Chains A and B, each alone.
Chain A
Amino acid sequence: MELLVASAIGAMTAGGVYLLLRLRTFPVILGLALLSYAVNVFIFSSGRLAIDMSPILSKYGDASYTDPLPQALVLTAIVISFGMTAVLVMVSLGAFLEADTDSIDIDPSETDKDATK
């Protein structure tokens, strides 16, 4: 089980990083989404894996529970990463509509022009 989770994290990280290094905005956003999945699961897994041990206190006697803290952190991380993705989408949309290209790199020949202005 641990091996599967770790390898999934690794796969998502690799995919995320690869997409992050592409030259257009949309793949970069997808890459960030993949990377945030990977990071969320990674933080979640730092509480160690547990099955049928939800951190909901039982009324009926003693039970063991999984680590609730990483879950709380990941919960807010999921929501925040949505917010950041949304901002990024809006910025890239704006950039595309203003500049008519969704390339993330600045063309060096154009910056030289700006500098000499």
Chain B
Amino acid sequence: MNTTSNVLILIALLPFIGALVPGLMIRAGRNACASFTAVPTAIALVLLLTFAPAVMDGQVIQAEVNWLPQLGLSASFFLDGLGLLFGCMILGVGLLITLYARFYLSGEDPVGQFYTYLLLFQGAMLGIVLSDNILLLLVFWELTSLSSFLLIGYWKHLPEGRQGARMALTVTGAGGLAMIGGMLILGNIAGSYNLTDILQAGDAIRASEWYLPALILILLGAFTKSAQFPFHFWLPHAMAAPTPVSAYLHSATMVKAGVFLMARMWPVLSGTDAWFYIVATIGLITMVLGALIALFKDDLKALLAFSTVSHLGLLTMLLGFGTEAAAVAAVFHIINHLTFKAALFMTAGIIDHETHTRDIKRLGGLRHLMPITFFIGTVAALSMAGIPLFNGFLSKEMMLEEASHTYWAGSAYAVPVLATIGALLSVAYSFRFISHVFFGPVRDDYPSKPHDPPFGLWASPALLVILVILIGVMPFLAEGFVTAAASAVTGADLHPHLKIWHGVTPALFMSIIAVAGGAALLAMYAPLDRAWINAPRPEAKAIFDRLIAAIVGVAQRITSATHNGSISRYLAIFTTASVVLGAIAFMGAGLSAPTRGMLPVPAVIAVGWVMLVVATISVVTMHHHRFRALVLIGIIGLTISAGFVYMSAPDLALTQISVETVTIMLLLLALHFLPKETPKESPFGLKIRDGIIALAAGAGVGGLAFAFMQRDISTISSYHVENSYEGGGGTNVVNVILVDFRGYDTYGEIIVLGIAGLLIYALMHALLEGPAARRLRNADYSQDRSKDRHPLMMVVVTRVLMPIALVVGLYIFLRGHNQPGGGFVAGLVVAIALLMQYMASGFAWTQDRQRIEYHTLIGFGVIIAGVTGAGAWVFGVPFLTSSYTYVHLPPIEEFELATAMLFDLGVFLTVLGAVMLMLYSLSRIARFAGSTVNVDPMDYDPGSHAEDTPEAR
């Protein structure tokens, strides 16, 4: 029964691939864009049709690509009769719409964009009908909402377009959210997210206590998408879209997605009372209400929109009946509605295009002026009315037949009577479409002189109308599709026979009543119309707008009540919450007895501790004097480095010392521009509150650390120690972890560091172009300026130190894999050596001698690290697997050449580049702020002593 074919994936992907082209070819003109839209669609259609014989034979075509198997999410597709029917509809009508839109849109519209959106939508829609995984289906479902938003709002300059698009997105998007919930419940009950599995689990699902919530949530999604009462209001507003969009989305495809979903889920969800009463009732109400409103709409597209609402109600009702015959009727009507409604929308578009109005009250008498359009429109409208020999008649008869023997809450008349009324109204508005637009006297006040459009514009609806007649006269032509689709919907092997004459049945009488009544209703149209206009009725858009405004109002009140712009308040709340949550967690579980004894405390460590604690307290008490606080921070950092040395962490000590140095330099540079004192502005109460929060946090963290250090736990660390030499080729385990075991982390971290450097550079540039630049220019920093900015001694010493520092950096880098050191530390050491040149010899002098941009260093660093990691792929091993060999280079001790070293080189370059770029950016600001520039390594401040030194420039 099941065949696997990856062509199915190609079919699903084709529209998305194709979507790239028209958007890029936006300047190539309408013909090129339309052709490049038609090609992928046509290929997909042909490929799909190659499966048609097999699928009609009852086979199911499947294809699967694992995506996130842990979440039950796979990109799996399957094609059965229902999918084939919808796929052909989507792609076939897509082709016709592509042609129609080519002639409908004007040269001034951004046509490339339109076709890109159209293909995106087509791909999403195709995805829905081909998905085998309901999570994947949901992704495509949301994608149709988004792409239809783009299409409805395509004419961005029209406010109705934008509002209509927003409303459609809100309603269908909200329904989609509800449906996600329903689908997840369904998947949970069935134990699988694959549709094929879920369809097998119908009994279990219907018996589950979660059936009703799942049903309601899924139906919310389907009803909003298919514009069922009370969510029908978005569809008429979506008519602000260009007519090709209306014809495609709002008659043939998107609004049918809800119907499709109900059909797809039919074997699982239907057959219960809840299903019948919710689905059939809503469908019935929608059918009658939509038809009633449609009758009184003057805008051609609004009339068709409400008629679509009505027909979608009809389909929903049929699916709600839950019988196999009703399912057959629904499937057949899906085809028929597609043909006549798309043709009607295109006819309305042609009339609008040629006469420049869609107002029925301003039209009439077009049958002589536009004979081709008249023929197409009339045939399609007669089919919509359900007149024999057109396809609409056949499915409407089947619907009436089903309705005639359906009981609703014990009543044998409710459904048949209402269904007949719906049919009657449908006849009335269809006849109105014909008679008020095409018949009547020829007028002389059309906004534009009407005539038939060029062939390109009427070709698509003409083709559809031919289908209307063919199916209407020879219904057995559609039997193959209907059989395959209906069998797929019901899960049973059906063999329906579609024929025109069913004999004298109740349905025939209902049809006769409907046609006669509809004609009579139209005869009395004028007084009815006046009564309708005077009757009070709720305006859906106003209600919707008020609802949205109310929700926005609530959201704004909550936001403004909680977010008052005080960051310190947020931080206080955040810290308190963390401490409280931590305390609750800590209280919740008991504390086992300590398993480790405490280490002894030598005197020197005790002195270090006193220094650290005193410095910390002093920072807090003296933070108003910013320079002093900065010095104290430096003391704390250095004490910690010493602590690392003592506690067996030489790498950390090296890193901490060098980072400490650059951090202090950075803060000093920044402090140059900031106020030197912090004003004493916190009220006493606030200080007390913050003090309590701080002490609680400190006690909590300290206590946690103390408890932690006294107990043993099993860790994965021994693995690293054991495999460091054999697996990573290094004896410095910390470095091997960085460049090998956890190289991926390190790779991410150097990228973050590089981004931070670039971010600072970008911020600097933005600052120097804004109002800050003016302030910097005008501020007077001369008080801070040293008389001897570049002291001779320092210049000489740093000059001598430079090569030494570079050698030290190289040494630390090379030994890093086996002894303390490595790329991070080496990068920082070299950065400090360079910074010293900046400090001693001046910004401009150093800058003149800089050969490589720091951005380049960052870039090369990341690239080298990445390429090294990717190089492992060449040897068929995972990303960042290293290999190594040992080299003994006399005077230096034996060291090892590993690919990890290349990776470390990347780390080195990135760290160097990022640190230098950060400090360079701050120096740029300093230079901008009026610091004079020196070209010689040593100079005197020209502001003060220029006249004393003849050789000074």
- The minimal Cβ–Cβ distance linking B778 to chain A, given in whole angstroms, is 11
Judged by DSSP, the binding face of B is helix
B window 698-726: CB within 8 A of A: 698-699, 701-706, 708-710, 712, 715-717, 720-721, 724-725
Tell me what chain A mostly uses at the interface: helix, strand, loop, or mixed: helix
Cross-chain contact A14 with B694 (CB below 8 angstroms)? yes
- A107 vs chain B, min Cβ distance (A): 7
- Is residue B132 contacting chain A, with contact meaning CB distance below 8 A? no
Give the number of residues in B that approach A within 8 Å (Cβ atoms).
118
CA distance A80 to B922 in the complex (A): 18
A67-105: which residues lie under 8 A (CB-CB) from chain B?
67-69, 71-72, 74-76, 78-80, 82-87, 89-94, 96-98, 100, 102, 104-105
CA distance A74 to B600 in the complex (A): 24
Are A76 and B749 in contact (CB-based, < 8 A)? yes
Q: List the B side residues contacting A33 at CB < 8 Å.
A: 633, 663
B649 is an interface residue with CB less than 8 A from chain A = yes
8 Å CB contacts to A: which residues of B389-433?
Answer: none
A10 close to B738 (CB less than 8 A): no
Q: Is B272 an interface residue (CB 8 A)?
A: no
- Bound CA–CA A106/B563 (angstroms): 10
Q: Are B596 and A18 in contact (CB under 8 A)?
A: no
Residue B522, interface by CB 8 Å: no
Decide: B647 and A18 in contact? CB cutoff 8 A.
no
Q: Is B41 an interface residue (CB 8 A)?
A: no
**B459 beta carbon closer than 8 Å to chain A:** no
* 657-685 of chain B: CB within 8 A of chain A: 659, 662-663, 666-667, 670-671, 673-675, 678-679, 681-682
B residues in contact with A72, CB < 8 Å? 734, 737-738, 742
With known contacts A1-B599, A94-B763, A80–B749 Cβ distance under 8 A: yes
User: Known: A13-B702, A86-B760, A87-B756. Contact between A21 and B690, CB under 8 A?
Assistant: yes
With A22-B682, A29-B667, A69-B715 as given contacts, are A79 and B731 in contact (CB-CB < 8 Å)?
Answer: no
How long is the Cα–Cα vector from A20 to B623 in the complex, in angstroms?
12
B565 & A69 in contact (Cβ 8 Å cutoff) = no
| Closest Cβ–Cβ distance, residue A63 to chain B (whole Å) | 10
Instruction: With A50-B648, A86-B760 as known contacts, state yes or no: A2 contacts B753, CB within 8 Å.
Output: no
User: For window 865-890 of chain B, which residues contact chain A by CB distance below 8 Å?
Assistant: none
Verify A75–B734 contact, CB threshold 8 A.
yes
Does A8 lie within 8 Å of B571, measured CB to CB? Answer: no
Are B705's CB and A10's CB within 8 A? Answer: yes
Query: Which A residues lie within 8 Å of B650 (CB)?
Result: 54, 56
Q: Is B605 touching A42 in the complex (CB atoms < 8 A)?
A: no
Asked if A102 and B675 make an inter-chain contact with CB atoms under 8 angstroms apart, the answer reads yes
Cβ contact within 8 Å between B749 and A85:
no
Whole-angstrom distance from the CB of B460 to the nearest CB of chain A? Answer: 50
Query: How many CB-defined contacts (below 8 Å) exist between A and B?
Result: 313
Q: Decide: B617 and A65 in contact? CB cutoff 8 A.
A: no
A4 → chain B closest CB, angstroms: 5
Q: Does B68 contact A (CB under 8 A)?
A: no
Q: A2-B598, A71-B651, A82-B659 are in contact. Are A7 and B613 (CB under 8 A)?
A: yes
Query: Measured between C-beta atoms, what is the minimum distance from A68 to chain B in Å?
Result: 4
Q: Is B652 an interface residue (CB 8 A)?
A: yes
CB < 8 Å neighbour of A68 from B575, B656, B733, B764: B733
Task: Check if A85 sits within 8 Å of B613, measured CB to CB.
Answer: no
Interface flag for B228 (CB, 8 Å): no
Chain A contacts for B772, CB-based, 8 A: 94, 97-98
Residues of A contacting B697 with CB < 8 Å?
A: 13-14, 17
| Alpha-carbon separation in the docked complex, A107 to B564 (Å) | 9
Report if A2-B706 is in contact (Cβ < 8 Å); known contacts: A49-B599, A104-B568: yes
B297 beta carbon closer than 8 Å to chain A: no
Q: State how many angstroms separate the Cβ of A83 from the closest Cβ of chain B.
A: 4
Which residue numbers of B lie inside 8 Å of A, CB to CB?
564-569, 571-572, 575, 596, 598-601, 605-606, 609, 612-613, 616-617, 619-620, 623, 626, 629-630, 633, 636-637, 640, 643-644, 646-652, 655-656, 659, 662-663, 666-667, 670-671, 673-675, 678-679, 681-682, 690-691, 693-695, 697-699, 701-706, 708-710, 712, 715-717, 720-721, 724-725, 731-734, 737-738, 742, 745-746, 749, 752-753, 756-757, 759-760, 763-764, 766-767, 770-772, 775-776, 818-820, 824, 828, 911, 914-915, 918, 921-922, 925
Shortest Cβ-Cβ A-B pairs, 6 listed? A10-B702, A14-B698, A106-B565, A6-B706, A97-B772, A18-B694
A-B contact pairs, 26 of them (CB 8 A): A1-B600, A2-B596, A5-B705, A6-B705, A7-B609, A9-B705, A11-B612, A13-B694, A19-B623, A21-B690, A24-B679, A26-B626, A30-B629, A30-B633, A41-B640, A49-B599, A56-B732, A57-B725, A57-B733, A66-B649, A69-B717, A72-B742, A75-B734, A79-B659, A90-B922, A97-B775
